[in-house]
Amino acid sequence: MKMKRRISLVRALYAASVCVLIALLALSSSLASYAATANVTVGSVSSANSDGYYAVTISVSDLSLKVKESIDIALSYNNLAFTIVKTEFSSSVKKYSSAGKSSDNPYHIKITAGTSTLKPSGKICTVYFEPIGLPAVGSYNIVTTATVSSGASVKVTSGSISVNCSHSYEMHSTVEPTCTSDGYTLERCTKCEGYRKTNKKDALGHDFKVKDTKAPDCTQNGYTVEECTRCSVHNIIEGEDALGHEFGLEDYKVIEPTCSKQGYTEYYCLRDGCDGVNRVDYTETTDHIGGEAVVTESTCQKHGNKQFYCIHCGILVKEERLELVPHDFEDTIVQPSCTSRGYTLRVCKVCDTVRRENPVEKLEHTYSSVTEREAGCVEEGRIKHICSCGDYYIESIPAVGHDYVKHSVIEPTHESDGLIKYVCSVCGGTYTETVKFDDGSSGSGDNSLDIESPGINSHLSGRATLILNVLLIITVFVAIGTVILLIKKTVSKLILDE
Ligand SMILES: [Zn+2]
Ligand SMILES: [Zn+2]
Ligand SMILES: [Zn+2]
Ligand SMILES: [Zn+2]
Ligand SMILES: [Zn+2]
Ligand SMILES: [Zn+2]
Ligand SMILES: [Zn+2]
C-alpha cells in the first residue's frame, strides 16, 4: 500500500513538472517570436545576363517595421570588380523603398513603413552589378550590413558573385547612344555565353531648338518652347514676368449703385487684346427705387391700390390705398301710407347693397263714420270711425234721458196716499209719484225730497225712503260720471286732432 502511494505521488510530480516545462517552452517561444531577429539574405550569382549584368536578389524574413520605422541595407563594392547599375524593387515594397545612387559607397537600399506596420517577406529587390573591365575567375563577396531604425537586431547572410570562366569575348552587337541612353558594344563569351558591354558612349543629351516664343502679357509670364531635334522632347523655358495691366485714366466707366449692388468706377487695360478691368471708388448701395405703379382698381366694396415695385430688385416699395367707387344705385320710390313711411329704395346694380333714403312721414288715417247704435234714454249711443287700413276709434253719444209725460193721477184721500204715474214718450218707461194724504201730523223735513222728486210720498215707509235716497245718490253719480266721460272724450279728440 505504502509503495503504491509513493509511485502515484511520483507520477503526479512528474506530470506537474511536464506541464510547467511545456508552459515555459510556450512562453519562451512566444517571447522569441516577439523579439525575432530579422534576416537579410543576399543571393549569389555566377554569370551575366544578356544585358551584361549580374543580377543579385536580396530577401528578408522575420522583419516587422512599425510606422515610420525603416531598414537600411548597405552593399559595399569597393573591393569588387563590379559596380552597381540599378535596383528593381518587388511590387510589395516598391512604394516604401528607395535606393542610393551607384556612385554611393556603400550603396544603400532603404525600406520605410508608411502609415501601418510593414512586414516585407521574401525577395524585396534585385540589384544589378556590372563588371568593371574583365574580372578574373574567382568569387567576389558582396559585403553587406543591415540596421533597423528601432535598433532591432538583424542577421545578415552575405552573397557573392562568382566568375567561373576566363572569358573569351567576341563582338555580338552595337547599340548607338540616344539623347538619354548610353551606346555600347555588346560582346559575348564564346566559352560560357556570358555577356559584357564595351566601348561605351555617353548619352547624347537633347538637341533643343527654339520652337515657339511667347512674350509676357498682362497676366502671364513669357516663355520659350524648345524641341529636341532628335526625339521631339519639349522643354519650356520661363521668360519675362507678366507685365501687369496698364490701366488708363481716360478710359473708364462709372457704374451707378443700385439697391442691391455697390457702384464703382471701372478702368480698362490699355494693352491690346487684354480685357482686364480695375474696379475702384466703390459707392454705397442706394434705397429701393419704386417704378411705375401697378394699379388694382377699386370697386364699390373693395379698396383698390397702387403698388410700386423696386425697378432693380422687384421688392414692394410703397402701396397706396384707393378710395372706394360709389355704388351704382337704381332708385325706386316707395310711397307713404297711413301705416308706413315712404322712402327711396336704392339697390346697387353691382353689389346688391340696399339703402333706404329720403324718408317721408306716414299719411293721416282717413276715417269714415258708422253709427253702430243711436243714443237712447239711458243708454249711450256708439259711432265707429274706421280707416281703410283697419284702424278705428269708437265715439260714444250720451244718453238723452227719458221724456216723461204725466200719464194718470190717483188723488190722495184721508185714508190713502195718491199716486201719479209718469210714462216716457220715447221708451215707455214709467215711474210713479206718491201724493201723501194729509192727516195734519206730518211735517217732517223729507218734504224737500218730495218736492225735487215728484211722486215721492212722505207717507212712504222708512225703508222705501232709504231705497229712494240710494237711487237718488246713484242717479247723481251716474250724472257726474257721464259728465266726466264727456269731458274725457272731448279732450282725447282734441289730442287726436293735433
Ligand atoms: Zn566566359
Ligand atoms: Zn532628344
Ligand atoms: Zn492688361
Ligand atoms: Zn430694390
Ligand atoms: Zn355697390
Ligand atoms: Zn289708416
Ligand atoms: Zn225713455
Three-class HEC string of the chain: CHHHHHHHHHHHHHHHHHHHHHHHHHHHHHHHHHCCCEEEEECCECCCCCCCCEEEEEEEECCCECCCCEEEEEEECCCCCEEEEEEEECCCCHHHEEECCCCCCCEEEEEECCCCCECCCEEEEEEEEEECCCCCCEEEEEEEEEEECCCCCEEEECEEEEECCCCCEEEEEEECCCCCCCEEEEEEECCCCCEEEEEEECCCCCCEEEEEEECCCCCCCCEEEEEECCCCCEEEEECCCCCCCCEEEEEEEEECCCCCCCEEEEEEECCCCCCCEEEEEEECCCCCCEEEEEEECCCCCCCCEEEEEECCCCCEEEEEECCCCCCCEEEEEECCCCCCCEEEEEEECCCCCEEEEEEECCCCCCEEEEEEECCCCCCCEEEEEEECCCCEEEEEECCCCCCEEEEEEECCCCCCCEEEEEEECCCCCEEEEEECCCCCCCCCCCHHHHHHCCCCCCCCCHHHHHHHHHHHHHHHHHHHHHHHHHHHHHHHHHHHHC
Does the structure show a pLDDT above 50 at 455?
no
Which residue did the predictor score with more confidence, 88 or 6?
88
Alpha carbon of 430 to ligand 7 centroid (Å):
9
Q: What is the pLDDT of residue 438?
A: 64
The string of pLDDT tens digits covering residues 184-202 is 999 888 888 778 888 889 9
Q: Could you read off the pLDDT of 45-79 as tens digits, one per residue?
A: 988 887 888 999 999 999 999 999 999 999 987 66
The answer to whether residue 392 scores a pLDDT higher than 70 is yes
**Looking at residues 200-212, what average pLDDT do you find?**
94
Question: Which ligand minimizes its atom distance to the CA of 167?
Answer: 1
Mean pLDDT to the nearest integer, 241-245 = 93
Average pLDDT over residues 160-179: 90
pLDDT at 497: 66
pLDDT of residue 134: 76
- Looking at residue 308, what is its pLDDT? 96
Q: How confident is the model at residue 24 (pLDDT cuts 50, 70, 90)?
A: very low
Distance CA 317, CA 294 (A): 12
More confident residue, 13 or 200: 200
Mean pLDDT of the chain: 85
Which range is least confidently modeled, 157-171, 261-275, 297-311, 459-473? 459-473
Cell representation of residue 73: 541595407
Structure confidence at residue 181 (pLDDT): 92
Please tell me the distance between residue 407's alpha carbon and the centre of ligand 7 in angstroms: 14
Q: What is the pLDDT of residue 268?
A: 92
**How high is the pLDDT of residue 202?**
94
Question: What is the distance in A from the centroid of ligand 5 to the CA of 45?
Answer: 117
pLDDT digits (tens, 9 = 90+) for 341-357: 999 999 999 999 999 99
Yes or no: domain 38-163 corresponds to CATH 2.40.50.100: no
Q: What is the pLDDT of residue 19?
A: 44
Instruction: Please tell me the distance between residue 182's alpha carbon and the centre of ligand 7 in angstroms.
Output: 177
- 372 Cα–ligand 1 center, Å: 175
Instruction: Determine the pLDDT at residue 1.
Output: 43
Cα–Cα distance, 81 to 189 (Å, whole number): 18
d(CA 439, CA 364): 71
pLDDT of 375 reads: 92
Give pLDDT tens digits for 481-492. 888 898 888 888
| pLDDT value at residue 452 | 36
The per-residue pLDDT for 223 is: 96
393 has a pLDDT exceeding 80: yes
pLDDT at 31 > cutoff 60? no
Which ligand has the minimum distance to the alpha carbon of residue 196? 1
Is the pLDDT confidence value at 25 over 50? no
Closest ligand to C-alpha of residue 267 is 3
What would the pLDDT profile of 212-239 be if each residue is shown by its tens digit? 999 999 999 999 999 999 998 999 999 9
Measured in Å, residue 493 CA sits from the centre of ligand 7 at 29
Q: What is the pTM of this model?
A: 0.40
- Residue 193 CA to ligand 1 center (angstroms) comes to 6
Q: How far is CA 326 from each of CA 74, 294, 298, 306, rounded to the nearest angstrom?
A: 110, 22, 10, 19
Query: Residue 398 — very low, low, confident or very high, per pLDDT cuts 50/70/90?
Result: very high
Let me know: does 375 contact 397? Beta carbons within 8 Å: yes
pLDDT band (50, 70, 90) for residue 133: confident
Query: For residues 394 and 391, what is the distance between their CA atoms, to the nearest angstrom?
Result: 11
Cα of 497 from ligand 6 centre, angstroms: 14
Task: Give residue 30's pLDDT.
Answer: 42
Asked whether 426 and 375 are in contact (CB, 8 A), the reply is no
Ligand nearest to the CA of 228: 2
Position 414 confidence tier, pLDDT thresholds 50, 70, 90: confident
Q: Of the candidates 186, 142, 200, 202, which has an alpha carbon nearest to the alpha carbon of residue 48? A: 186
Point out the ligand nearest to the CA of residue 195.
Answer: 1
pLDDT at 93: 92
